[in-house]
Amino acid sequence: MFCITEIKDIITSITAVAAIIIAIFGLSTWRRQLKGNRKYDLSFECLQKLKILIEAINGFRHSYIGNSEMVEAYSKKHTDSLDFMDSKQRELAFQYAMELRWDVIRNANREYQSSIQKLEIILNETKIDTHNERRILDLIIEILDAWQTNQFLTKKKTPIPEAQREKWLKDLEESEDILNSIPGDRINQEIDALYNSLNAKLRKHLK
């Protein structure tokens, strides 16, 4: 026969063991929930960073540069004020503004790549967005090449020989097609497809 004291000790022991089991189960649940929240946060961050990168690319491809943007860009390189009556200063200001737009793309792409890497670590996957990363980089390089080509072609000082004029016009037209954003054009369609692809891939973590 158990005495009352022994029974109390047994009950106390059982209660303590049960409390430990519940605590372990609760901790495991909490960890899973925390990891799930982290997946959600990083998935959302990846989509947000890609959206920012897309907006930066669209901003670079927007052909209009306003006076305030040119003044701001020029002031970062020169102490004197921009004289819009000076064609050389206007040309420099335009160039500087485009360079600032390009810096926005570089920074946005760096942030996007970083968020993808963090998500890969959390999901324990080697590569989550290989195709998107590669295609985004290809598009960025394509736009940069078009910009450099356009700058070279439009700044040629020597007359273009007649035999080369047709190729010059073709190259100029191709570079302008890439640089000037038009709703529904090839690059915009590709960018939308890339975003939708990543969105579909991460949707399971956003529920």
Residue 18 covered by a domain = no
Region 77-104: mean pLDDT is 91
The boundaries of the domain holding residue 143 are 39-205
The pLDDT of residue 1 is above 70: no
Residue 168 covered by a domain = yes
8 Å CB contact between 82 and 71: yes
CA atoms within 13 A on the CB side of 123: 20
Residue 29 covered by a domain = no
Residue 25 covered by a domain = no
Residue 17 covered by a domain = no
Summarize pLDDT for 110-121 with one digit per residue, the tens: 999 888 888 877
Give CA angle at 139 (133, 140), nearest 5°.
90
Residue 81 covered by a domain = yes
| pLDDT tier, 4 (very low <50, low <70, confident <90, very high otherwise) | low
Residue with the larger pLDDT of the pair 126 and 107: 107
Residue 19 covered by a domain = no
Region 66-95: mean pLDDT is 90
Written as one letter, the residue type at 191 is I
Residue 27 covered by a domain = no
Pair of tokens at residue 138: 């290809």
Summarize pLDDT for 146-170 with one digit per residue, the tens: 988 888 888 766 677 777 778 888 8
What is the 8-class DSSP label of residue 204?
G
What is the 8-class DSSP label of residue 76?
T
Give the chain's domain count: 1
Residue with the larger pLDDT of the pair 195 and 13: 195
Q: Where do the H-state alpha helices sit in the chain? A: 4-61, 67-75, 87-123, 130-154, 162-179, 186-202
The pTM (predicted TM-score) of the whole model is: 0.75
User: Among residues of the chain, what percentage have pLDDT more than 90?
Assistant: 25
Q: Which residues contact 14 (CB under 8 A, 6 or more apart)?
A: none
